[in-house]
């Protein structure tokens, strides 16, 4: 098994030529697995990993273990594309009383707000569904870089790697996503 492209926490999203992993069998993933546990793949079997709007479903300790296992599964020089809602954007929009945040919530998330205040929205954004953690770039770097990932912040659908271009499901018009390409450094320590 080598040269795989693996989508982690894929839900109903499908990419041609990729292996899709999710815990929920209703999505009929290629591999049904709980990603809070070790990944069911051998070392260095993957060229590319992709995960969008999944890591918030793990606690920060589970995310740390998940990233370590992603690093194990990637070959040296392999890349993980990671998207997650951006805590920094959420907080900035709250502080600036940017009501586009509420438009976005009501249009894209649709969970009713009782008061429709930005404060209630921030609370709901952090606690709704099975959400367990909410990241900014600094925190993700603090988790990923010591493991041996070289982290590059990129834009929507932007990547130096053609295999990772065009995968993003959420744009700045419909989400507050953070877009990262995380390269497994081939350094001797990792």
Ligand X SMILES: C[S@@+](CC[C@H](N)C(=O)[O-])C[C@H]1O[C@@H](n2cnc3c(N)ncnc32)[C@H](O)[C@@H]1O
Quote the tokens at residue 11.
């839900």
- x/- mask, ligand X, residues 126-165, rule CB under 6 A, reads ----------------------------------------
Chain length of the chain: 190
CA angle at residue 152 from 13 to 52, to 5 degrees? 15
Q: How many chain residues are in contact with ligand X, going by CB under 6 A?
A: 16
Q: Residue 105 gets which letter from DSSP?
A: I
What the block records as the tokens of 138 is: 């600094």
At residue 187, φ and ψ (nearest 5 deg) are -60, 160
**35 contributes a contact to ligand X by CB under 6 A:** yes
Place of tokens 């109903």: 12
179 binds ligand X (CB under 6 A): no
When the beta carbons of 103 and 108 are compared against ligand X, the nearer one is 108
Q: Does 10 bind ligand X (CB under 6 A)?
A: yes
Per CB under 6 A, 168 contacts ligand X: no
* Nearest residue (beta carbon) to ligand X: 11
Asked if 65 and 99 count as a contact pair (C-beta separation under 8 A), the reply is no
Residue among 4, 5, 6, 9 that touches ligand X (CB under 6 A)? 9
State in angstroms the smallest separation of the CB of 166 from ligand X. Answer: 14
Looking at 4, 5, 22, 85, which residue binds ligand X (CB under 6 A)? 22
Cβ 14 to ligand X, closest distance in Å? 10
Sheet holding 74-85, edge to edge: 31-32, 19-22, 4-8, 46-52, 74-85, 177-184, 149-154
Dihedral sign, Cα of residue 48, residue 189, residue 155, residue 172: positive
Q: Is residue 52 a contact residue for ligand X (CB under 6 A)?
A: yes
Binding ligand X (rule: CB under 6 A), the pick from 15, 23, 65, 185 is: 23
Nearest alpha-carbon partner for 35 in 66, 74, 70: 66
Question: Site residues (CB under 6 A) for ligand X?
Answer: 9-11, 13, 22-24, 27, 34-36, 52-54, 57, 169
């Amino acid at each position: 098994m080598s040269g795989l492209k693996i989508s982690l926490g894929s839900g109903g999203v499908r990419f041609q030529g990729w292996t899709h992993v999710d815990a929920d069998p209703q999505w009929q993933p290629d591999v049904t697995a709980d990603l809070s546990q070790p990944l069911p793949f051998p070392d260095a079997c993957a060229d590319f990993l992709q995960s969008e709007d999944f890591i918030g479903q793990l606690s920060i300790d589970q995310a740390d273990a998940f990233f370590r296992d992603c690093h194990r599964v990637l070959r040296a020089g392999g890349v993980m594309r990671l998207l997650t809602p951006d805590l920094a954007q959420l907080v900035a929009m709250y502080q600036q009383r940017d009501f586009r945040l509420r438009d976005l919530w009501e249009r894209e998330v649709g969970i009713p707000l009782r008061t429709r205040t930005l404060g209630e929205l921030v609370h709901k954004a952090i606690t709704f569904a099975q959400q367990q953690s909410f990241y900014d770039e600094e925190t993700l770097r603090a988790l990923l870089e010591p493991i041996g990932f070289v982290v590059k912040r990129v834009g929507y659908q932007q990547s130096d790697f053609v295999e990772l271009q065009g995968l993003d499901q959420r744009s700045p018009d419909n989400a507050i996503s953070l877009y990262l390409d995380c390269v497994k450094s081939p350094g001797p320590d990792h």
